[in-house]
């Protein structure tokens, strides 16, 4: 036998018999630049060899130890301090993970602030970057980014962990982070493919173009109002129906389950277009089940959950039914709905105005989670419709300072029907805190609808600048 071959074979065999070094390992979301929820008892977790001990120390004075479980996993709890106000600077922290006599991992530039999960389908994916590449403008190019908002992109206190699209038949323990997108590699100004990074990304002029627009505006509004750092986990898949995000769904397994131990302040959600046309009641049932299931998975039964009611578009009459079923989730505690009927695009399922969408979600959180008394979260909400003489009087709650017409014209998108069930366009006029609706073709109305057309963009709104939500009701 060739002596050289023999020596090589023996060396390989020797290397194979050396036991692997026992090391502590972390999930990808626990890394440099991350944000941890302030004033909370958070969970840190990872993996190592069975029987070993993991020590954790933080720069804010917390420490803890834990034994590795028989399956190789470990987790422990630590308290976080209040966030430093942004006016005092960022105050980056460190966390050190040690397996005695083995290895040490230190994560740096950690911020303490507010942490939210942003999830949904393509409208939650759309990036700030001006429309590129050719033919994909519906996925890129927020309306106000290029000429206005990109000037404010230097926000190092805003951090994003964007989840790589991952489908799985069973719940996964970990997931990768990457730049958002639809399978196309991002390019720089010279047309060169740029590196996809795995981890938390601070928002800078170099990274902001590739941040999903709705999460960006949501997080920026929170940070500006609360004056603390904000961390966003963004997990979205274009064209995804809600069932794939529930119990046993392959998106939930791959893109939500890995964050189960993580402490989140709440969730914002923008999805529904792929469920239009489902039988009545299906989406409502799935949506409420999903919210409750996620709350259970994150061990927070009242975790805030705010969602976008999809905008009108196209000629699909079933869209109004879907919007109504979305609103049914408001019966659950700590939920809220951002209405965007005035900023949609009837000709496009991906409206480019994401600034108002993100800021309206932030209004929900600032008012209902953070208790900001000067923030109004909702526009006019239907209360009742009563027949008075030959007209119908419609009243609203949560008027946001009063009712107005967005364009100063007569109110639009009201229809009424009589006993024959045939809806006719109606005349609607403001009368103080109510709306008076009439139709000469329906002298004895029994039903009323508002904003029910597939591409309706009603002009009724509050003085605080929020549109009235669609409704339908019997007339009493």
User: What is the SS3 assignment for 352-416?
Assistant: CCCHHHHHHHHHHHHHHCCCCCCCCCCCCEEEEEEEECCEEEEEEECCCCCEEECCCCCECCEEE
Tell me how long the chain is: 476
Pair of tokens at residue 30: 């626990």
Strands (E), 73-200: 73-79, 93-98, 104-120, 155-162
What tens digit of pLDDT does each residue of 161-175 get? 999 999 999 999 999
| Closest C-alpha to 124, from 351, 447, 381, 402 | 351
Mean pLDDT for all residues in the chain:
90
What tens digit of pLDDT does each residue of 297-309 get? 999 999 999 999 9
**Cα angle 272, 278, 281; round to 5:** 90
Residue 97's beta-bridge partner residues? 56, 105
Pair of tokens at residue 238: 């274009």
Per-residue confidence in pLDDT tens, the chain, 476 aa: 444 333 334 333 333 333 344 689 999 999 999 999 999 999 999 999 877 899 999 999 999 999 999 999 999 999 999 999 999 999 999 999 999 888 899 999 999 999 999 999 999 999 998 865 554 555 688 999 999 999 999 999 999 999 999 999 999 999 998 865 444 444 444 444 444 457 999 999 999 998 999 999 999 999 999 999 999 999 999 999 999 999 899 999 999 999 999 999 999 999 999 999 999 999 999 999 999 999 999 999 999 999 999 999 888 889 999 999 999 999 999 999 999 999 999 888 999 999 999 999 999 999 999 999 999 999 999 999 999 988 999 999 877 889 999 999 999 999 999 999 999 999 999 998 899 999 999 999 999 999 999 889 999 999 999 999 999 999 99
- What is the value of pTM for the model shown? 0.92
DSSP state letter for 282: H
- CA 338 to chain CA centroid, Å, is 12
| Closest C-alpha to 94, from 79, 105, 104, 109 | 109
337 φ/ψ angles, rounded to the nearest 5 degrees:
-125, 125
Quick check: 316 and 356 in contact, CB under 8 A? no
């Amino acid at each position: 036998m060739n002596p050289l071959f023999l020596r090589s074979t023996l060396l390989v065999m020797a290397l194979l018999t050396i036991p692997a070094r026992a090391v502590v390992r972390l999930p990808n979301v626990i890394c440099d630049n991350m944000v941890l929820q302030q004033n909370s008892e958070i969970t840190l977790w990872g993996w190592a060899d069975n029987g070993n001990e993991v020590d954790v120390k933080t720069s804010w004075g917390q420490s803890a130890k834990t034994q590795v479980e028989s399956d190789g996993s470990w987790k422990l709890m630590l308290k976080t301090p209040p966030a430093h106000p942004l006016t005092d600077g960022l105050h980056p922290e460190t966390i050190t993970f040690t397996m005695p006599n083995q290895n040490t991992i230190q994560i740096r530039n950690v911020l303490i602030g507010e942490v939210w999960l942003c999830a949904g389908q393509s409208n939650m994916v759309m990036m700030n970057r001006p429309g590129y590449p050719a033919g994909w403008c519906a996925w890129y190019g927020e309306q106000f980014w290029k000429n206005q908002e990109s000037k404010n992109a230097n926000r190092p206190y805003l951090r994003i962990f964007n989840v790589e699209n991952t489908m799985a038949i069973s719940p996964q323990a970990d997931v990768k982070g990457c730049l958002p997108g639809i399978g196309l590699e991002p390019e720089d100004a010279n047309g060169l493919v740029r590196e996809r990074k795995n981890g938390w990304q601070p928002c800078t002029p170099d990274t902001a173009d590739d941040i999903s627009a709705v999460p960006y505006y949501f997080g920026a509004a929170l940070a500006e109002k609360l004056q603390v750092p904000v961390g966003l986990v963004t997990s979205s898949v274009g064209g995804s129906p809600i069932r794939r995000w529930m119990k046993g769904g392959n998106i939930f397994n791959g893109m939500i389950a890995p964050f189960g131990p993580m402490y989140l302040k709440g969730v914002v959600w923008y999805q529904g277009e792929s469920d239009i046309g489902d039988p009545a009641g299906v989406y409502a049932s799935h949506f409420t089940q999903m919210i409750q299931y996620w709350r259970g998975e994150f061990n927070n039964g009242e975790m805030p959950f705010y969602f976008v009611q999809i905008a009108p578009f196209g000629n699909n009459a079933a869209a109004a039914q879907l919007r109504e079923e979305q609103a049914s989730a408001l019966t659950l505690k700590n939920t809220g709905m951002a209405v965007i009927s005035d900023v949609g695009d009837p000709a496009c399922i991906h409206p480019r105005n994401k600034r108002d969408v993100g800021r309206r979600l932030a209004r929900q959180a600032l008012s209902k989670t953070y208790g900001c008394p000067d923030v109004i979260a909702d526009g006019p909400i239907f209360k009742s419709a009563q027949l008075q003489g030959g007209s119908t009087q419609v009243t609203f709650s949560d008027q946001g300072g009063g009712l107005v017409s967005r364009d100063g014209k007569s109110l639009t998108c009201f229809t009424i029907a009589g006993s024959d069930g045939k809806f006719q366009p109606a005349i609607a006029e403001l009368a103080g805190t109510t709306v008076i609706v009439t139709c000469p073709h329906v002298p004895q109305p029994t039903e009323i609808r508002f904003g029910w057309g597939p591409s309706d963009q009603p002009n009724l709104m509050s003085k605080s600048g929020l549109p009235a939500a669609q409704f339908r009701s019997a007339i009493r």
